Every structure is written in structure tokens, then in C-alpha cells.
Amino acid sequence: MIVYFGGSAYEGVTGTDRQLADRLSAMVPVLYVDPPVSVTTPLLHPHLADSVRGAALRRRSPALWRLCPRVLPGAYRPGLHHTTNALVRRAARRAARRMAAELDERVSAVVVAAGADLLDAVPGARTLYYATDDLVAGAELLGLPPRRLAAARERMLARADEVAVVSPLLRELFRAHGRDPALVPNGCAPEAYAGIDTAPWPADVPRFDRPAAGFAGHINARIDLGLLEAVAAAGHPLVLVGPHDPGYQPARFRALTALPDVHWTGRKGFGEMPSYLSTIQVGLTPYRTDAFNRASFPIKTLDYLAAGRAVVSTDLPATEWLRGFSGGADLVRSEATVDGFVRAVEAELAVERTPKLTARRREFAARHDWGQRARALARLLDIDPVPARQEEPAS
């Protein structure tokens, strides 16, 4: 059995941790531990109310349980964070004992993909520190003290049995800290887009008289609004799918979404993505090229390809890593300037999306599916996964 400490809530955005936990649970039972919440969380963050309501421990599937630890208000304030971590460890240990007794299993591994050092939650288990972001570089965005995040990272790098990272830049960073981590990038779910060609057109997106570009994801400080504005200013329809952080340049975002050919849908579920991505010709990964983003691995890039769409991204190490695979260089466009980004979008909008080209994009994405990523983590944990061919980039 695996105890997996996620960096995001299981019921939240269907991101790295949930995708991996779901697939790991096809191999062994998994206890997924959410970031902790206090009784004030639903009041301060209404969009989280549904995900934290009800029992702290819930069974999500035959082999996957989700634990939402309850902690004191002000959980991450200086000093209180030690109490928070202790409460999370205790809650996870109790839930794991309950699961182990019910399943007649033992906890063989602990995965920490969060910023707190929780490796010792289950004594005697094999431990894996899985860094899915450079949290120290993103401390300001996260609203957490960088020194605390750096100290937790150093402790986990020193104590974890295995270390894995999501991006090439994080691998370089951790090598400089004395560990040689495994590279386990983000993946995609090609099966989710199998029916995209027959997906219904969403009611809240108009039909365009020319090909559209689009963005799917959280619109926050990671995103370069200037790139989206430039695409819209060039006269191309633009579809924005996902929530907007109200604190991120609200006036500028309102001006963008007020343009006649810009359509913002707000938050949508993962199951709705085929319909929304069917409305666009080109998917955009317009990340700012700061230290936080350069260490990231945007999931959306592979999702666009899995949906058979073209991709234009800012110049990120993860993008170059994908372009290093056979066939990747002409399927993933990478640009470092605003003008270059817009020109690349315009070039891809002019390309006819033939069945052959769509199949090439989907086949490339399928070589990077979440199943392969989960099997890579399983091998690090000495769990025997289903054998699968693991391809490496050409460069």
C-alpha cells in the first residue's frame, strides 16, 4: 500500500497528483492525503467547500482512499506549521492503519509531492520525494516563506530513499544539491480525448468563421497575459477555459475578455475538456519565463496534442525536452518573444488539420501518457508495474 501526500486536493484540479494516484491504485492500494484544511477553509475559499465537506476519509474507488486532514486555523503561520505537520502525520498514520487492517496489507511506501517534510509519516516504509514544482522559487505566489520551503526540501533530499522530479531544470537543481533524481515528467490522458471529433459544441462558446486559438488552465500569475493579448490583437478568436485568479491583474483581464472575439468560459471539469478543445485549432502554453515556470512541466502542452491540436508554447526547458523526442520538434512550437509567439500561432492556424496530422499528434502524446509516468514511480518504489517500453528523448 502507498500513502501519497499530494500537493493539491484530490477533488480539485485533475493534475499531476490525482492522475498518478489513480493509476498507481491500479497496481496497489493508495491512500491519497490532501493538503490539510481547517474549519474556516470553506468560509474563506467557497470554491473548496464541496471538496472538504463530509468525512475526512472517503473511499474513491476499490483501491483508492482520499484523506482530507483537519487542522487548526492559521495552519501555515510561523510556529503553527509544526503543529499542522504533526496533525497531518497522525491523521495519515491512523487512516493507513485502518486501510491496512481492512485490506490485510502493509504500507510499503510513502510518496511526498507536497512542500512539507512528511516522509516519516509511516515508519519503516520506503520513501520517495517527488518534486512537481520549484516551490522555493514560487514561494511568493504560494504565499509561504521561502526559507521554510527550502529547509523542508533540503531535509527531504537528505532523507528520502528515492527522489524524482518533474522537469529537466529541477533535475539540474537537485544534482547541484547532491542528489541525482529520476526524471518523471507530467503526462497526459489520451483516452480522455478519444471522442473529441464527435464531442458536442459547448453552449457557451460561439461558432467562429475562422480557426481559433485557445488556452485551458488556471489564469494566474504564472500566465503571461501579454501573449494572450497579442494573439487577440492580431485578430484571432481566442477561447479561455479555466478559472481566473481574482487578484491577478483584474482590470487587464476584464479588458481582454471584453474583446468581441475573446470568450472566457470560467472553470470547467476535466470531463468537459474534449468539447472545449474541439473548438480550437491551436492550444497555447503562454507561461511567463520566470524561475518558477522554467522548472515546471505544463500538463496542457501534452493535453493539446492528445486532443489532436497544434501547440505553441513559451520557451521552457520542459518544452525543449518534449521537442527532443522523435517527431516532437515539428509538433511543439517554442517561442521566446511575443512577436515570435504570435507568428507561430498564425502559422499553425493556417495549417489544415488532416486526419494524418491529427493522428501524429495523438500518437506522440500517447508516448507520454500517465500510465507510463505511474509505472516509473512504481519502479522507484520497488513495486512491480506492468512492463512497458520507456522511450528517452533523442537529444
Residue among 154, 240, 166, 174 at smallest CA distance from 7: 166
DSSP character string of 95-140: HHHHHHHHHT----EEEE-SSS--GGGSTTSEEEEEE-S-TTTTHH
Contact 218, 194 (CB under 8 A): no
Residue among 364, 17, 359, 327 at smallest CA distance from 194: 359
Close Cβ partners of 230 (under 8 Å, ≥ 6 residues apart): 338, 341, 342
Q: Give the separation between CA 363 and CA 361, rounded to whole angstroms.
A: 6
Give phi and psi for 94, each to the nearest 5.
-65, -45
The chain-wide mean pLDDT, for the chain, equals: 92
Residue among 91, 92, 93, 71 at smallest CA distance from 82: 71
pLDDT tens, position by position, 207-251: 999 999 999 999 999 999 999 999 999 999 999 999 999 999 999
pLDDT tens, position by position, 9-45: 998 888 999 999 999 999 999 999 999 998 766 655 5
- pLDDT at res. 40: 67
Contact 63, 25 (CB under 8 A): yes
pLDDT tens, position by position, 256-299: 999 999 999 999 999 999 999 999 999 999 999 999 999 999 99
Maximum alpha-carbon separation in the chain: 62
Q: Give the separation between CA 57 and CA 78, rounded to whole angstroms.
A: 28
Q: Is residue 66 pLDDT above 90, yes or no? A: yes
Q: Is residue 389 pLDDT above 70, yes or no? A: no
SS3 category, 346: helix
Alpha helices in 160-223 (DSSP H): 168-176
Contact 33, 74 (CB under 8 A): no
Percent over 90 (pLDDT), the chain: 87
Q: Residue 58 is inside which H or E element, if any?
A: strand 57-61
Q: Give the separation between CA 73 and CA 41, rounded to whole angstroms.
A: 8
394 band by pLDDT with thresholds 50, 70 and 90: very low
Give phi and psi for 243, each to the nearest 5.
-75, 155
Residue count of the chain: 395
Any idea which of 255-264, 359-368, 382-391 has the lowest mean pLDDT?
382-391
Contact 228, 204 (CB under 8 A): no
Taken in order of first residue, the domains within the chain and their CATH numbers are 2-187+369-380 (3.40.50.2000), 190-366 (3.40.50.2000)
